[in-house]
């Protein structure tokens, strides 16, 4: 192993040497572990089935769902026999729908030019069913079309993807049940995939869950959050629980604090109407950020079964210390961007965006300090932040370890001796970095922070599925590990609702506005300064 390490770590950093082999051995993400453990290389058993997409003429279908299914087919990941039926109100036939999807695929395929031969074979499985969501006759028409596929699994094993407004979920599920397409019992299976938002507060989420589970078992409902399909997000559990050198450090004894950042370079744009109802808290914190937090901080599950993993995620969310209005005032910051420069181009302020009120108090930025009241994380602050019109788009988790005692090098080098940190970059340039201190070459005793970086692209350089590809495949297989359970949704909404209650009636202050192109309001820096901490901005990784 010595051949990979130069005599001086800092010299290696100066020479910009990479450590992919060593890091691949440290991380449990390499081919050796997956092949010897039999975890990832074994393909799931997939039954023949039909996927019914409600909202087949929508943007999600064209940009994400059909490209994902095409790529799965191209990689030989789909079931041996399958059909895809698009259900929408626009008048068209299967041939026209296929032509529209091909045009969209030319634009949104992640693998470059579409393979004509593969597309022709894939498109033969695509069918269109025209109908209104509230029309009983349309569902009878859908049932007849499915029956034409035969009486076997293509008719009985059904995955319903509701790429429609959540306000329509209940009615559609009721209709497919009445049409005899959804059963709670039986040898065949039927599953329902629903997109976020899962309500806009706790009460609406509970109401939506009651509507869904009135006609289907909770085990049949797959609440999708594309964030959980990202490769690095999934690797969190394997990284934590298969590497003893890190698992021993993953607690209050070694960790000083944890920062989770999801920054977006884009502004609200044409989504002003939606954002006026949602804001950063509902749009990002309630789902993506709390999901990542639960994976980072949860206890080891008793097994890798879906319910065991989801049990621990819910347990973690329920351990987050409740926030009273006075807690919210001290521990939560909101912000809103005004006009500024992003990437050299001018951006309007939020209040100048389309469909936004000129005196809006809606947050485009949110930051908070949360505490988890359990044995592992007692008194360790978790800092979460997300915002629009920030300098770059990036998602990462930074585990900041405690500083060394103020003797020896710490006493001599002072602030130049950086605390060790582990950064998990979720996007872009997915990877994991270890930050530590090294001696600068020379006669003097100078220290400099250096980084050992593992990159998915440089290490594997192979097929990495998009989030929707993985999640669709898991739904077809019936594996709910990466999907969100009912109690998980409702627990997350309890946290968000308490924050919104603390904001009620309070206008934004001057310290909560920030210029587009900056890293957020001054109030967010004040939040970390309470405990002597500072934000660590995501860096461009090459």
297, burial (CB in 10 Å: exposed 0-12, middle 13-18, buried 19+):
buried
**197: cis peptide before it, omega within 30°?**
yes
Catalytic one among 288, 435, 453, 536? 288
Candidates 55, 49, 108; CA nearest to 79 is: 49
Residue indicated by tokens 């000129």: 358
Tokens of 168: 């329509």
What is the b/e burial string over 323-344, where b = at least 16 CB atoms within 10 angstroms of the residue's CB?
beeebbeebbbbbbbbebebee
CA distance 299 to 463: 31
Question: By the 8 A CB rule, do 353 and 272 touch?
Answer: yes
Positive or negative torsion for Cα 331, 332, 337, 338: negative
20, burial (CB in 10 Å: exposed 0-12, middle 13-18, buried 19+):
middle
Question: By the 8 A CB rule, do 434 and 241 touch?
Answer: no
Tokens of 16: 């910009």
Q: Is 453 a catalytic residue?
A: no
Query: DSSP letters of 142-162?
Result: HHHHHHTT-SSHHHHSEEEEE
Question: By the 8 A CB rule, do 127 and 149 touch?
Answer: no
Tokens of 527: 């939040």
Q: Phi and psi (nearest 5°) for 369?
A: -115, 115
To the nearest 10 degrees (0 to 180), the angle between helices 169-178 and 202-215 is 10
Tokens of 366: 């949110």
Residue indicated by tokens 């029956």: 147
For strands 255-263 and 221-224, give the pairing.
unpaired
Q: Phi and psi (nearest 5°) for 230?
A: -70, 140
CA distance 469 to 146: 24
Residue indicated by tokens 């130069």: 6
Strand order, beta sheet including 82-88: 126-130, 82-88, 49-54, 158-162, 190-195, 221-224
Distances (CA, A) of 104 to 57, 70, 170: 11, 12, 30
Candidates 393, 400, 396; CA nearest to 435 is: 400
Provide the annotated active-site residues.
288
């Amino acid at each position: 192993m010595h051949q990979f390490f130069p005599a001086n770590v800092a010299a290696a950093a100066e020479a910009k040497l990479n450590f992919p082999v060593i890091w691949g051995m440290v991380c449990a993400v390499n081919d050796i572990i997956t092949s010897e453990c039999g975890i990832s290389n074994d393909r799931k058993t997939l039954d023949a089935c039909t996927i019914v997409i409600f909202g087949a003429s929508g943007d999600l279908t064209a940009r994400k769902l059909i490209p994902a299914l095409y790529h799965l087919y191209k990689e030989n990941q789909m079931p041996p026999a399958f059909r895809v039926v698009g259900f929408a109100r626009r008048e068209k036939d299967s041939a026209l729908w296929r032509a529209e999807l091909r045009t969209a695929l030319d634009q949104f395929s992640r693998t470059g030019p579409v393979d004509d031969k593969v597309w022709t074979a894939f498109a033969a499985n695509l069918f269109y069913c025209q109908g209104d969501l509230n029309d009983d006759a349309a569902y009878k028409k859908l049932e007849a079309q499915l029956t034409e596929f035969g009486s076997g699994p293509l008719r009985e094993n059904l995955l319903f993807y509701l790429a429609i407004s959540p306000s329509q979920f209940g009615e559609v599920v009721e209709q497919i049940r009445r049409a005899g397409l959804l059963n709670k019992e039986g040898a065949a299976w039927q599953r329902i995939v629903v997109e976020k938002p899962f309500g806009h507060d706790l009460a609406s989420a509970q109401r939506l869950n009651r509507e869904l589970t009135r006609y289907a078992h909770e085990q049949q409902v797959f609440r999708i959050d594309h964030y959980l399909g990202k490769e690095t997000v999934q690797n969190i559990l394997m990284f934590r629980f298969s590497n003893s050198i890190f698992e021993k450090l993953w607690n209050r004894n070694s960790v000083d604090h944890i920062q989770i950042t999801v920054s977006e370079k884009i502004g609200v744009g044409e989504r002003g109407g939606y954002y006026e109802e949602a804001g950063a808290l509902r749009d990002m914190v309630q789902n993506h950020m709390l999901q990542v937090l639960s994976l980072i901080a949860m206890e080891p599950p008793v097994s890798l079964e879906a319910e065991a993993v989801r049990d621990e995620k819910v347990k973690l969310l329920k351990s987050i210390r409740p926030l009273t209005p006075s807690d919210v005032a001290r521990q939560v910051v909101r912000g809103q961007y005004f006009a500024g420069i992003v990437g050299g181009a001018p951006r309007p302020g939020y209040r100048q965006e389309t469909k936004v009120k000129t005196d809006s108090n809606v947050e485009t930025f949110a930051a908070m300090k949360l505490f988890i009241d359990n044995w592992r994380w007692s008194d360790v602050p978790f800092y979460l932040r997300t915002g629009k019109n920030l300098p770059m788009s990036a998602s990462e988790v930074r585990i900041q370890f405690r500083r060394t005692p103020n003797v020896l090098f710490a006493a001599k080098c002072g602030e130049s001796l950086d605390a060790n940190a582990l950064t998990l970059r979720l996007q872009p340039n997915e990877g994991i970095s270890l930050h530590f201190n090294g001696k600068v070459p020379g006669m003097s005793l100078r220290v400099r922070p250096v980084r050992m970086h593992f990159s998915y692209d440089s290490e594997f350089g192979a097929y990495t599925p998009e989030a929707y590809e993985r999640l669709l495949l898991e739904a077809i297989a019936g594996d709910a590990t990466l999907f969100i359970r009912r109690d998980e949704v409702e627990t997350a909404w309890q946290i968000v609702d308490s924050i919104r209650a603390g904001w009620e009636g309070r206008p934004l202050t001057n310290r909560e506005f920030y210029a587009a192109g900056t890293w957020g309001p001054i109030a967010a820096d004040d939040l970390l300064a309470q405990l002597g901490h500072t934000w660590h901005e995501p860096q461009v990784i090459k």
